[in-house]
Structure 1
Amino acid sequence: MPDLCTQARALQPRTVALRRAIHRRPEVGLHLPHTRDAVLDALADLPLQVHLGVGVSSVVAVLDGARPGPTILLRGDMDALPMHEDTELPFASEVPGAMHACGHDTHVAMLASAARLLAGRRAELAGRVLFMFQPGEEGFHGARHMIDEGLLDATGPAGRPERAYALHISATIPSGEVHVRPGPLMAAADTVRITVRGRGGHASAPHDAVDPVPAAAAMIGAMQTAITREVSAHDPAVLTIAHLTAGTTTNVIPETAFMEGTIRTLSAPVRERVREIVRRVCRYTALAHGCSADVVVEPGYPVTVNDDGAVTTLAALGREVLGRGRVVTMPTPILGAEDFSYVLEQVPGALAFLGGCPAGVEPSVAPPNHSNRVVFDEAAMVSGVAVYAGLALDALR
């Protein structure tokens, strides 16, 4: 294990080159032909069995060890975000309206280099490594699509993964550190869309109309209050209405108002409770204003729950490979969401955060993931490659 960082550092030119090539040509969603081809090119000379997705641009690569044994899954997500890049990097996005603002380009590059490192140490592996290159993490349920297409049975029913791991880079964590915690790590994320229906009319005569705008405004406050009154303060729950629209001009009361937002929770019971609160509060608040409300709650990603044993293994491996001070236990979950949760529902495993804060920048002020100005320290990828490879070597020795 101690020489893994040395080996990862030797692969760093390849890792950086692949990362930058993908960064220049970001793709959004489930269909990422250029990114998929870049991955295939990076893996082409390795002794891997490669399976391509049918309905999505996924790549599943299998490395068989020298002896029989269990299967371990390692994931790297590949998709970008639909946003403009303002980093002024020499390898900045060349695609208008698309940017790798969440670091998935680094995930792909680290996983590909980990595959190369492990291919060179096949003689040490008793079992197989399943490399999961996944599209559509940013709201497109890519992991679920891959599972539906047979990801977990890619090596046959007897070869289903016994452990699954993923790393996610973060620009607000010191570079090269690994942050993890057992149990719930990230939230379930549901989308709520509410249409409030009234009766349009002249803005000077609201008594001759039924105005949906004050009804919508009242709903926002009522939902927030209801959550604080009905959900325990010890059970995190967040509702944010992020989009509200109504009307077309100053002197017309519109017939409808529309709003949408997100619900974030860390347990299934609280998730269902908040959904019920939203439906009930909107319905009766609308009725109190003489309106009606159509409420649609669109289920999103489940809670990302780390297996205690997998976290213990990851933390111990991280300390062995990177040094004791480089692994940090997070005190609380975060309410972002991750579709690696679909994998962790079926395979015990863990997701950890890899620090990627740029040199000379305080993590507290660094532009965060999903910022148009986010920059990741490429040197952190050495740690990521070493940890990915170390997890496989540890599980399959």
Structure 2
Amino acid sequence: MTTRFDEAAEDLRADLIAVRRELHQVVEIGLDLPVTQAVLLRELEGLGLEITLGTTLSSITAVLRGGRPGPVVLLRGDMDGLPVAEATGLPFASTSGAMHACGHDLHMAGLLGAVRLLAARRDELPGTVIFMFQPGEEGQAGGRVMIEEGVLDAAEERPVAAYAIHVDSATPRGQLVTREGAMMASASALRMVLRGTGGHAAFPQLGIDPVPVAAQLILAVQTFAARRLPATDQAVISITRLSSDSEASNVLAASVSLEANIRTLSKATLDTVRTQLPALLTGIAEANGCALECEFFASYPVTYNDPAETREVLAVLDEIVGEERVTRLAAPSMASEDFSYVLEEVPGALVFVGAAPDSGPMPLHAETAIFDDAVVPLQARVLAELAWRRLERA
């Protein structure tokens, strides 16, 4: 069916794809993205926006006030790349040693498109839109930092809803995917230092070797979810780092460092893991004469799509692209997203859009990841339409 932004979004196709490819070449990582920020500011110039820059990160908050009274809606796009050396062979590939291997360059281009679509019709716009251009999604919690710096209050009143789109290079081009409730998992870490005594590798009986004890800890971590959590509770716990302080083949380690990555879909499950797993591992260590130091790091919370908002989103998506191109996800992903911080404060939804290239599905975060940027105009009109519809029904 035809919706209000179809033709206008198509008119922007060439410009948005050109910006996306420029951003792909100048990719930066983390919270400090001065070159990326400068490109976006150039593209936002002259659109009549109230722009605020971050003070501790290279964020951009842009407020568009419509010509008709109404509430506030927030649209978000993330800006940072990954420390991956690109190996796609694309003519616009990054050569900086970093890469937009998670599609954030498409996210920025799609959000820019939504800005232009809505700004062109500001006189009719029934309310205000906050555009949140956010660095530091890839592990630095840039969304949380922007909230601390006031992004949710940029229009003097809190948004009634918030929306974001994430591309997926493993999903067919143009397929839109979301679900009510938990959409993506929380991400946390348990860092451990296991201490023995070290010693001569020829005489292990004279000391306490922490390496075989570390092996027991690893096995305990890998079986914890299966034996301590209900089968209906999804949790993924993986040992992702392991090292000892021994620097010679004939020296027993005095300590072993380990890190576990923890993914859960509810706070209750995370609380269980946070309390019971360190207790179990400490007991194993002490039974073997070792001491264990544990430190828990909470990172991104569960990305939770508000059920009522998501039902409205699904209705709009069905109308924009047809029900056959909208997937109601049966189960959440165990990956994580720091749009979760926004959704803890404001009801809303995260939607995935397929951007698999013609060559077939590609893994995210890989040096060979390729995204079909033909979906950028679709991102722009979906975001613009979601914002407009939400303002209309307030």
Shorter chain as normaliser: what TM range?
over 0.9
1:223 and 1:281 in contact (8 A); partners too: no
Q: Secondary structure at the match of 1:373?
A: coil
Which residue identity lines up with residue 206 of structure 2 in the other structure?
Answer: D
Q: Which residue of 1 aligns with 2:123?
A: 123
What CA distance in whole angstroms lies between the structure 2 residues aligned with 1:270 and 1:184? Answer: 13
- Per-residue CA deviations over 1:273-299 (Å, capped at 9, x if unaligned) read 111222112211111111111111111
Task: Compute the displacement of 1:111 (Å).
Answer: 0.2
Which residue identity lines up with residue 257 of structure 2 in the other structure?
Answer: F
Which residue identity lines up with residue 134 of structure 1 in the other structure?
Answer: Q
Q: Secondary structure at the match of 2:345?
A: coil
**1:192-203 paired onto structure 2 within 5 Å:** 192-203=190-201
1:72 and 1:129 in contact (8 A); partners too: yes
**1:294-309 paired onto structure 2 within 5 Å:** 294-309=293-308
What CA distance in whole angstroms lies between the structure 2 residues aligned with 1:226 and 1:67? Answer: 55
The reply on whether 1:105 has 2:105 as its aligned counterpart is: yes
In the superposition, the TM-score normalised over structure 1's length comes to 0.96
Q: Which residue of 1 aligns with 2:52?
A: 51
Which residue identity lines up with residue 43 of structure 2 in the other structure?
Answer: A
Task: Compute the displacement of 1:313 (Å).
Answer: 1.4
Task: Compute the displacement of 1:249 (Å).
Answer: 2.5
Question: Percent identity between the aligned chains?
Answer: 45
1:223 and 1:277 in contact (8 A); partners too: no
**1:223-262 paired onto structure 2 within 5 Å:** 223-246=221-244, 247-262=246-261
2:113 and 2:381 in contact (8 A); partners too: no
Q: Secondary structure at the match of 1:264?
A: strand
Task: Compute the displacement of 1:185 (Å).
Answer: 0.6
- Per-residue CA deviations over 1:186-226 (Å, capped at 9, x if unaligned) read 11100111111001111111001110101111001112223
1:67 and 1:126 in contact (8 A); partners too: yes
Q: Which residue of 1 aligns with 2:14?
A: 13
1:226 and 1:277 in contact (8 A); partners too: no
What CA distance in whole angstroms lies between the structure 2 residues aligned with 1:390 and 1:191? Answer: 38
Q: Secondary structure at the match of 1:122?
A: coil
What CA distance in whole angstroms lies between the structure 2 residues aligned with 1:309 and 1:7? Answer: 29
**1:124-139 paired onto structure 2 within 5 Å:** 124-139=124-139
- Per-residue CA deviations over 1:349-382 (Å, capped at 9, x if unaligned) read 0001111001242xxxx22111111000111112
The reply on whether 1:287 has 2:265 as its aligned counterpart is: no
1:282 and 1:295 in contact (8 A); partners too: no
What CA distance in whole angstroms lies between the structure 2 residues aligned with 1:70 and 1:3? Answer: 20
Task: Compute the displacement of 1:319 (Å).
Answer: 1.5
What CA distance in whole angstroms lies between the structure 2 residues aligned with 1:125 and 1:175? Answer: 30
1:190 and 1:263 in contact (8 A); partners too: yes
What CA distance in whole angstroms lies between the structure 2 residues aligned with 1:377 and 1:310? Answer: 28
The reply on whether 1:396 has 2:394 as its aligned counterpart is: no
Task: Compute the displacement of 1:20 (Å).
Answer: 0.9
What CA distance in whole angstroms lies between the structure 2 residues aligned with 1:355 and 1:222? Answer: 38
What CA distance in whole angstroms lies between the structure 2 residues aligned with 1:22 and 1:208? Answer: 59
Q: Secondary structure at the match of 1:259?
A: strand
The farther-off stretch of 164-173 and 320-329 is: 320-329
Q: Which residue of 2 aligns with 1:316?
A: 315
What CA distance in whole angstroms lies between the structure 2 residues aligned with 1:57 and 1:170? Answer: 25
Task: Compute the displacement of 1:5 (Å).
Answer: 2.7
What CA distance in whole angstroms lies between the structure 1 residues aligned with 2:29 and 2:359? Answer: 31
Q: Which residue of 2 aligns with 1:87?
A: 88
Q: Which residue of 2 aligns with 1:141?
A: 141
| Consecutive aligned runs of 4 or more in structure 1 exceeding 6 Å deviation | none
Task: Compute the displacement of 1:94 (Å).
Answer: 2.1
Q: Which residue of 2 aligns with 1:166?
A: 164
Structure 2, unmatched stretches of 5+, are none
The farther-off stretch of 25-34 and 243-252 is: 243-252
* Matched residues, number: 390
Q: Which residue of 2 aligns with 1:32?
A: 33
Equivalent residue for 1:178, pick from 155, 176, 179 = 176
1:5 and 1:322 in contact (8 A); partners too: no
Which residue identity lines up with residue 249 of structure 2 in the other structure?
Answer: T
What CA distance in whole angstroms lies between the structure 1 residues aligned with 2:122 and 2:308? Answer: 25
What CA distance in whole angstroms lies between the structure 1 residues aligned with 2:13 and 2:150? Answer: 32
Task: Compute the displacement of 1:123 (Å).
Answer: 2.5
Task: Compute the displacement of 1:248 (Å).
Answer: 1.9
Q: Secondary structure at the match of 1:239?
A: strand
What CA distance in whole angstroms lies between the structure 1 residues aligned with 2:6 and 2:260? Answer: 43
What CA distance in whole angstroms lies between the structure 1 residues aligned with 2:323 and 2:20? Answer: 28
- Per-residue CA deviations over 1:13-58 (Å, capped at 9, x if unaligned) read 1111111111101111111111111110011021111111111111
Q: Which residue of 1 aligns with 2:342?
A: 343
What CA distance in whole angstroms lies between the structure 1 residues aligned with 2:316 and 2:300? Answer: 28
2:221 and 2:239 in contact (8 A); partners too: no
Q: Secondary structure at the match of 1:105?
A: helix
Structure 1, unmatched stretches of 5+, are none
Q: Secondary structure at the match of 1:319?
A: helix
Task: Compute the displacement of 1:322 (Å).
Answer: 1.6
In the superposition, the TM-score normalised over structure 2's length comes to 0.97
1:202 and 1:253 in contact (8 A); partners too: yes
Equivalent residue for 2:379, pick from 380, 384, 391 = 384
The reply on whether 1:76 has 2:71 as its aligned counterpart is: no
Task: Compute the displacement of 1:252 (Å).
Answer: 1.1
Which residue identity lines up with residue 245 of structure 1 in the other structure?
Answer: S
Which residue identity lines up with residue 263 of structure 1 in the other structure?
Answer: I
Q: Which residue of 1 aligns with 2:357?
A: 358
The reply on whether 1:334 has 2:329 as its aligned counterpart is: no
What CA distance in whole angstroms lies between the structure 2 residues aligned with 1:30 and 1:245? Answer: 28
What CA distance in whole angstroms lies between the structure 2 residues aligned with 1:83 and 1:7? Answer: 35
Q: Secondary structure at the match of 1:345?
A: helix
Task: Compute the displacement of 1:2 (Å).
Answer: 2.3
The farther-off stretch of 308-317 and 99-108 is: 308-317
- Per-residue CA deviations over 1:243-279 (Å, capped at 9, x if unaligned) read 1112223211010111113000000010011112221
What CA distance in whole angstroms lies between the structure 1 residues aligned with 2:176 and 2:254? Answer: 52
Q: Which residue of 1 aligns with 2:66?
A: 65
